[in-house]
Chain A
Amino acid sequence: MSLQTPPPASIGLPRLIAGGLVRYGLILALVAVFAAFSVVTPTFLTPANLQSILVNNFTLLAIVSVAMTFAVASGGIDLSVGTAMDFASFAFVSLVLAGQPVAVAALAGLAAGAFVGAFNALLISAIGVSPFLATLGTLFIGRSVQQLLTNGGNPVYLPPNGVPEAFRFLGHGTIAGFPVPLAAAIVVIAAAAVVFARTRFGRVILSIGIQPGVVRYSGIAAPAHVAVTFILVGLIAAIAGLILTATVTTYIPSSGNAFLLNAIGATFIGTTLSPLGRPNVGGTVLGALLLSIVANGLLLTDLNFYWQQVGTGTLIFAVLALSFINRKAAGA
């Protein structure tokens, strides 16, 4: 991931600076945040901490954000990504606990995530409910179902001595020194990037998000594409659910929802990277990276934990404001 140097901001034309901010606001923010934390906290710029950012903060958020990017690209939003994570996590842990092979349990987890996506797809494509409301309903129902399944929200633990090797490998293993969760995130990111850049499906999804009417009139089966998109969102979120479970060897009801707002934030911050403000995988990944760096860096400062939330929120707000003001100025 190369952080390009932004164009020199010393040129005296305010408009040019503003123009640069439109395009490179996110990258500037990344560089600024990175530099600020390097100066303020002595431990930020250590290899151990940088790895911690990637493995502990970035991995799961990036995967969920990529899922969200698909939903947003198709012109919708998916508020139930956390639900898909949770269902996947629950199926995974339950089956491993029941003595099933890890591979079978993982497949069941992926199926559970896809099932949540399929439920959304049914509501959105077959009935025509708006994605926001459909996935909001799914979120509510999912919360209830999880509480029913767990006697009111009790976590499901795997006994410390009963964790299969393959399970542990998924959460804590390394491939040639590379943490498995991070490798999974990179595979998901790369696959998503290829789908958007190289496949017809990706182009159709983006067109549905931009010009639904035109897509309809050009004879493309838009509802079918949207349905596939939402199933895909559930499936990708399920991957995050599996990794989360494998890392903590526990299923905690409704824990996936913690990722929802940041995933939305990363996706929309990422749209600032595209000249026309479109969702894009690269931008989403940088957005997730920005949020991860901020979360990690603020933790290292002596700042009161609660101020950290204020800091993160203000930063997201500032990046969005910059981007939208400039987008408006650019007439897009």
Chain B
Amino acid sequence: MSAEVEFAPSGFSAVEPPPRPVGNFAAAALRFGSLIAFAAILIIFSLTAPYFLSIGNIGNVLGQSAISGVLAIGLTIVLIAGGSNVVTGGIDLSLAANMGLSAAVYVSLTQLGYSDATAIAATILTGALIGTVNAIAVVYAGIVPLLATLAVMNVVAGLELVLTGNTVLPASTPFLSALSASDPFGIPVLAYVLLGFTAITTAIVQYTPLGLRLYAVGEFPDAARAAGLPLRRLLAGAFVASGVSGGIAGILSVSYLSGSTTGAGEMLLPVVVTALLGSVFSRRLVPTVTGTLLSALLVGFLVNGFQLLNISSTLVSGVQGVLILIVVSATTLLRRQEA
């Protein structure tokens, strides 16, 4: 994960080191190191909190991670197509606000008496529309993604406030009830939604030519251009896909919270952390959908374990911060050592 922040005029600086080849020792060590750390955390929690490793609890964590997981996977697609430079490369800061507005759209429509099908379509369309605005701003107007999506975030958050009047709007429909239910084993339906969403995006991003092209555009834009790939369209598509995940996450959050609530923006930084952390779970330290899922679950299990152990939830953001610094520092040091 080389996320060097540069403002070179062209956006592609000559000093950026090329990504290391597959299978180098340091990356492998880090990859397994992070998996071992993950396992160690699970073991410690399951020893100290007896209920931790029960199927019901694992299902709960999956269900609770569904919203942030879907958002982080959406962000991962942008990270892949935009490259790893967080300022000039791929980032979508409007995702959490997108989820908030999408949720508000869903609830407003059901309150007006529209069917679930209409509301779902309109919500996903809302997400896609926000993604399109980002895509136009970044790809066609050429605004740096960090700024473009920052501005869009403000607009979208404002629109959500206008729509909801900054109040909690309740919603209850057959579809939402089904989504917030649990299966006979006590595993929430949202857990399956997360796994299903991950499976579909993994299939597309990791196993199709389209996915390969997204990586090419992000990592080797010049080569991708030389190979005749439609750079702009692929990057624009990534932003739209991320917008759609925002819409889907909006529906999930309406189901999870039985309505639309304010404060979606609080999700932003945890989601960014989740997506960025995800790359330590990949062999080449690049963003991957499965890596992001693992990282979302890691955060989910941490929060859950803390709750079971009665450790103050105020520590969670601190642990997230320490975690990202350890991971990123380790990555940087390992890379430097091997270079």
Contact = CB atoms under 8 A, between A and B. Distances in A.
A278 B162 CA distance: 35
A38 interface: no
Nearest to B9: A332
B42 interface: no
Interface string B126-162: 0000000000010001111011101111111111011
A304 B166 CA distance: 12
A276 B159 CA distance: 34
Contacts of A264: 146-147, 150
B314 A136 contact: no
Interface of chain A, main secondary structure: helix
B324 A137 contact: yes
Given A128-B333, A130-B5, A143-B318, A324 B142 contact: yes
Given A312-B154, A313-B151, A136 B273 contact: yes
Interface in A51-81: 72, 75-77
Contact of B321 (A77, A144, A261): A144
A317 B137 contact: yes
Given A128-B336, A320-B147, A320-B151, A140 B273 contact: yes
B117 interface: no
Interface residues of A, number: 60
Interface stretch (A19-27, A175-183, A185-193, A210-218): A210-218
Contacts of A131: 5
A140 B166 CA distance: 26
Interface string A148-169: 1000110000000000000000
A45 interface: no
B4 A130 contact: yes
Which size bracket describes the interface of B in this complex? 35 or more
B86 interface: yes
Contact of B320 (A140, A210, A325): A140
Contacts of A140: 269, 273, 317-318, 320-321, 324
B125 interface: no
A137 B318 CA distance: 8
Contacts of B162: 304, 306-307, 310
A265 interface: yes
A310 B325 contact: no
B333 A144 contact: no
A322 to B, nearest CB: 9
Contacts of A313: 151-158
Contacts of B9: 276-277, 332
Contact of B7 (A75, A213, A321): A75
Contacts of A133: 3, 86, 276, 324-325, 328
A129 B146 CA distance: 18
B208 interface: no
A147 interface: yes
Contacts of B328: 129-130, 133-134, 137
Nearest to A126: B329
B15 A148 contact: no
A142 B276 CA distance: 19
Given A129-B328, A140-B321, A321-B143, A213 B14 contact: yes
A75 B6 contact: yes
Contacts of A103: none
A307 B143 CA distance: 24
Contacts of B14: 213
B20 to A, nearest CB: 15
Given A213-B13, A317-B137, A130 B86 contact: yes
Contact of A261 (B7, B148, B150, B161): B150
A130 B155 CA distance: 28
Nearest to A322: B141
Contact of A132 (B3, B13, B316): B3
A132 B86 contact: yes
Contacts of B318: 140-141, 143-145, 148
A68 to B, nearest CB: 13
B109 interface: no
A250 interface: no
A209 B4 CA distance: 11
A308 interface: yes
9 contacts: A75-B5, A127-B329, A130-B2, A134-B328, A140-B317, A148-B318, A213-B14, A264-B146, A321-B143
